[in-house]
Structure 1
Amino acid sequence: MAVDQNKIIETCLLAGRIMVEGGSEIYRVEDTMRRIVRKASNNDSQIFATITGVLVTMDADENTRFSQINRRGIDMEKINIVNELSRKFTDGTIDLDQLRQRLKRLDRELPNFPLWLRVLGAGFEGMFLMIIFTQTHAWVDMPLTMLAAATGYLVSDRLGQISRIRFVQEFMGALALGLVGILGVRLGLGHNIDNVLIGAVMPLVPGVPITNALRDLIEGNLLAGIERGFEATLTVFAIACAIGTLLHYV
């Protein structure tokens, strides 16, 4: 029985950690973990999750287990797959061992789009959001905005592979896109630097974390909401510092 409980807790913690790393709301994480424990053991559990760790205690067990979270990002595919697997488990389509193995495979081998496609997508995102936010069809600025947005995303993504300090990633990414935008306008490749920067910076702006922070606060998860909101604020501050520095000195 002890081995089964350990397996249940391990599976529960793995699912929760993957969801938090993907940027899920805390109430969704806790609900998914609680459903896994209830289905596997017919017992309730005490779940506590933040953006830095998840904790679970089964009512039938005196031990408490904790899993630390060292990296975070935005990956909706992770959240969707964990939700799908947890639903299959609660419906009886798969058993606990299958759920555990698939979660381990997801944690180890998450499918991802190739880098060139993600960079291209970031470029298109910046270009189209420039149109939305500036309310103007500045055709001459669109190619430069796309190039600047793609460059900023590429620099931020590559730094993310070698550094765990997210604010450095966003700062350097914003610095790179700002340089491309400013130099491009001065070389005649664009017309309005404001339009270019407004659109190009959008792929780096933490819109989802800010939204999730508000949702966590509304749900009553004050600690997670404050943590995530403060992290998003620092990210915005890093981006603003990079752009402000360029506009002042370049």
Structure 2
Amino acid sequence: MRYAIYYCPAAGSSLAEFGRAWLAQAPHAIDLPGIQSGRMQALLANVRRYGWHATIRAPFALDTGVAYEDLRGVVMATAQRFPAVTLPLQLDRLAGFLALRPGSDSAAIDQLAAACLHALEPLRAPLAEAAFCRHVDGFDAVELGLMEQYGYPYVLDRYRFHMSLSAPATEPEEQILRDELTQHASTWSTAWVDALSICQEAVPGADFKQIERIPLRAERAA
């Protein structure tokens, strides 16, 4: 079992509704000219598994003797240290895939992610050597060091707030996706990061499910 700390848009918000429609589970819910249905399902499969979110703390297993209530307590304490943040979003390409990324300074979110990383580190089970070896290909020296220390390479200076929209696509496919997404920009152009969501992968390969949404401080950061 693994847990992750995500930003999941509040139910009923325009960003949540956009994500629900974009990642609709119905096999033929999204049918774009130029991308066959089966291919569209492949582009969305991994995004659907992890859910409509931005990673704050990447998935990890709890160490021996650590209970869910310990995790919950740390997340609640961290959430109370940070105010909610209004974040403009823009369509961007990150590591070969399309995502929504901050359209302005993201320092407040970066600080929140770093705080979660450090606060949760004592609860994390060490990454098994086999799992470590599976993931190190292509890492630079900094990322390798972060992987060794935190079990994940894209933290601290390498952290990038993003909401994934698809797997890597061909150039023609990406243009089709961009055109479609741009038509709906008014629904995804702003994120109100107002809570930390604890999400769970019950067994390896299962979909991540939100099990609790813990509010940040009510006032918004400037």
Normalization by structure 2: what TM-score?
0.25
Larger radius of gyration: 1
The structure with more strand, counted as a fraction of residues: 2
Larger relative contact order (Cα-Cα within 8 Å, sequence gap ≥ 6): 2
Normalization by structure 1: what TM-score?
0.23
